[in-house]
A and B are shown apart, each in its own frame.
Chain A
Amino acid sequence: MKIDHIAMLARLELTNEEKEIFSKQLSSIIEYIDKLNELDTTSIDPTAHVLPIKNIFRDDKLKPSLPKDKALQNAPGRTDDFYRVPKIIE
């Protein structure tokens, strides 16, 4: 089931009803977007970016970082000066 795979990638838990609703909705969105395939783009270069600009760089210069308390302010959990998250390796 495609919807299960997509839900897993987005870390969403869906009920069976939701799966049905979203499957239909996603299909109709993709169908709609598919219209673009009707356009003839053979003479158009692939576009990486909507603006006709390139090579926007910064110099290798340091800027002040956030104070650690500020950086950790939105952390889901904190132990000492670390972000604390559910264990990721068994």
Chain B
Amino acid sequence: MQYETVIGLEIHAQLLTDSKMFCGCSTKFGSEPNTQTCPICIGMPGVLPVMNKKAIEYVIKTGLAVNCKIASYSRFARKNYFYPDLPKGYQISQYELPICEHGYVEIADNGSTKKIMLTRIHLEEDAGKNIHEGAGNYSLVDLNRAGTPLMEIVSEPDIRSPKEAVEFVKKLRTILRYISVCDGNMEQGSLRCDANVSVRPYGQEEFGVKTEIKNMNSFKFIEKALEYEIKRQIKVLKDGGKIIQETRLWNSERGITESMRSKEEAHDYRYFPEPDLVPVDVDSGWLEQIRTHLMAPTFSFVRSSVHLEEPDLPDIKRQRFICRYGLPEYDADLLISERAMAEWFEQAVKLGADPKIVSNWMMGELTKLLNEENKQIEECMLKPEHLVGLLELINKGIISGKIAKTVFEEMYKTGKNADTIVKEKGLVQISDEADIEKAVDEVLEKNHEEVERFKAGDEKLMGFFVGQIMKATKGKANPKIVNELLKKKLGKE
């Protein structure tokens, strides 16, 4: 029998706020344990949580970016359970009235696109961190993370393969990073993915019994864990067994999913409206304000004011890069993968540079230099106008393409203009024929033997002569003139 896979995902994304959801403690990752807590986030009696406005706005922003309906009225609820990383004995979450519902994300699907529907997006607080290893018969708890704003994005069971699941998470991650609500760091856990997985015979309407898979903290692990789990379920069914509804953890060392034998009993969360918090009312004015934010470019190197009709999200940018700027799909995909890259590119093009040439410099030299220092594009001193200035010098024949690389590196290091660097370092291309002729004559004179061999038919030596002349002129000779003169002098005209 052939089986069909059914996957639904729950993505937890930590929001990029400075402070926690309901108190002023920092959300910074990697601090000393238990140094970012206060009576509110460690659940002392008598404290009152107050909602972080930015966190609410980030969820609304996300909802707008993934085509959700934004609830004009929503509220928080208590989800009651005991676990050491949850100091209050309940998690403040949302239950029947989440902020966003009914959205979708489009993923690539064999040349066309497929919509993965989103059930809801709600806001809750993250729990602390339990450490089980190396503590003997104990578990250790760090509550720094407790109370960090956490957005839960729930998909419909629309996903039909591990590959699609990865595509979906990648796409969502790019969007979240684009709109600057989550840094998407899966290793550090700021973006986490749980999957509900089941299989059913092809053609069967009813879903099979599902398991929930946790602990997949990279794209690779999502794919591997899901592939393993599907195979496991199919084998159980083929052997005449039954799937047990349970939570399973991905064990990356062993490459398998394992039943999570937790001492926690059957879930009965007894949700009820959080009496410490008042409802959230999103009126049209507030919504429009957030929508406007979503459309504006974020990075300081974008100077001109831009008015856009719709949110400038990765898919829309990709389309524009291909259709309007004529970039190959490969270039477009690379440039849109980071919002800063995309905006840098567009700014350079807006300043009059040729799109494909800008793209080449960005994917080549710039990426190389950034990688060497492990830097992001928004952190470097080289701005779009620098590149545009450099390209003008090349177009006017003031510097050669070879020298341009040197100038580019210098601009990257110093943040100076191409013009200034060329003048300071005396890199102006020599286009004066008399000057170049002198260099050509000298080189030919010094290399009698090679000249004879060339005349005898060893035409590969042309490159050697050009190289020598470039060396003599420190790369500044206009290569076109060098070539013409050489041909003339060596009797090849």
Taking the complex as formed, is A84 at the interface, i.e. its CB lies under 8 A from any CB of chain B? yes
A interface secondary structure, majority = loop
A53 near B278: Cβ-Cβ < 8 Å: yes
B19 at the interface (CB under 8 A from A): yes
Max chain B C-beta neighbours (<10 A), residue from A64, A65, A79 = A65
* Interface residue A51 (Cβ < 8 Å from any Cβ of B): yes
Does A56 have its Cβ within 8 Å of any Cβ on chain B? yes
The answer to whether A35 has its CB under 8 Å from any CB of chain B is no
Q: How far is the CB of B8 from chain A (nearest CB, A)?
A: 25
A21 at the interface (CB under 8 A from B): no
Residues from chain B with Cβ under 8 Å of A86 in the complex: 137-139
A62 touches B19 (CB 8 A): yes
Contact partner of A82 (CB less than 8 A), chosen from B34, B39, B55, is: B34
Stretch at the interface among B187-195, B257-265, B401-409, B440-448: B257-265
> Is the beta-carbon distance between B18 and A60 smaller than 8 angstroms?
yes
Q: Contact between B53 and A58 (Cβ–Cβ < 8 Å)?
A: yes
Q: Interface size of A by Cβ–Cβ distance < 8 Å?
A: 38
B245 adjacent to chain A (CB < 8 Å): no
Digitize A52-90: 1 where CB-to-B-CB distance is under 8 Å, 0 elsewhere.
011111111111111010011000010111111111111
Q: How far, in whole Å, are A81 and B36 apart by their CA atoms in the complex?
A: 12
A59 to B208, CA, bound (A): 46
Residue A8 interfacial (CB < 8 Å) = yes
Minimum Cβ distance to chain A for residue B442 (Å): 68
* A8 and B140 in contact, given A48-B273, A81-B32 (Cβ under 8 angstroms): no
A51 / chain B contacts, CB cutoff of 8 Å: 278
On whether the beta carbons of B262 and A89 are closer than 8 Å, the reply is yes
Interface membership of B75, Cβ < 8 A: yes
With the chains together, A45 CA to B261 CA distance in Å?
Answer: 44
Name the A residues within 8 Å of B55 (CB-CB). Answer: 60
Docked Cα-Cα span, A61 to B151, in Å, equals: 19
Task: Indicate if B52 sits at the interface (CB-CB under 8 A).
Answer: yes
Check if B84 sits within 8 Å of A49, measured CB to CB.
no
A64 to B26, CA, bound (A): 8
Cross-chain contact B273 with A79 (CB below 8 angstroms): no
B438: chain A residues at CB < 8 Å are: none
A83 → chain B, closest Cβ, in Å?
Answer: 4
Q: How far is the CB of B480 from chain A (nearest CB, A)?
A: 58
**Beta-carbon contact of B54 and A60 below 8 Å:** yes
| Least CB distance, A59 to chain B, in whole angstroms | 6
Q: Nearest Cβ distance between residue B139 and chain A, in whole angstroms?
A: 5
Q: Is the CB of A66 within 8 A of B143?
A: no
Q: Are B278 and A85 neighbours in the complex by a CB distance under 8 Å?
A: no
The answer to whether A88 and B34 have CB atoms under 8 Å apart is no
Judge whether B34 and A71 touch: CB under 8 Å: yes
- Residues of chain A lying within 8 A (CB to CB) of residue B38: 63, 65-66, 71
B53 touches A82 (CB 8 A): no
Say whether, besides A9-B268, A65-B36, A85 and B280 are in contact (CB < 8 Å). no
Chain A residue contacts of B24, Cβ below 8 A: 58, 61-64
Q: 1/0 contact trace for B129-157 toward A, CB 8 Å?
A: 01110010111111100000000000000
Minimal Cβ-Cβ distance residue in B for A72: B34
A65, B19: Cβ atoms closer than 8 Å: no
Known contacts A65-B38, A68-B35: A60-B138 contact under CB 8 Å: no
- Neighbouring A residues of B275 by C-beta, 8 Å: 49-50
In the complex, the 10 A-B pairs of residues with the closest C-beta atoms, listed nearest first: A63-B24, A82-B140, A57-B53, A60-B54, A83-B141, A85-B84, A58-B50, A81-B33, A54-B281, A90-B261
What are 7 sample pairs from A and B whose C-beta atoms fall under 8 A apart?
A48-B278, A55-B278, A65-B36, A66-B42, A81-B35, A81-B142, A89-B262
Binding site for B on A (CB under 8 A): 5, 8-9, 11, 48-51, 53-66, 68, 71-72, 77, 79-90
Give 18 A-B pairs besides A50-B275, A55-B279 with Cβ atoms closer than 8 angstroms: A9-B268, A11-B82, A57-B52, A61-B18, A61-B24, A62-B25, A65-B25, A65-B38, A66-B37, A71-B34, A71-B35, A71-B42, A82-B140, A84-B135, A84-B141, A88-B263, A88-B264, A90-B261
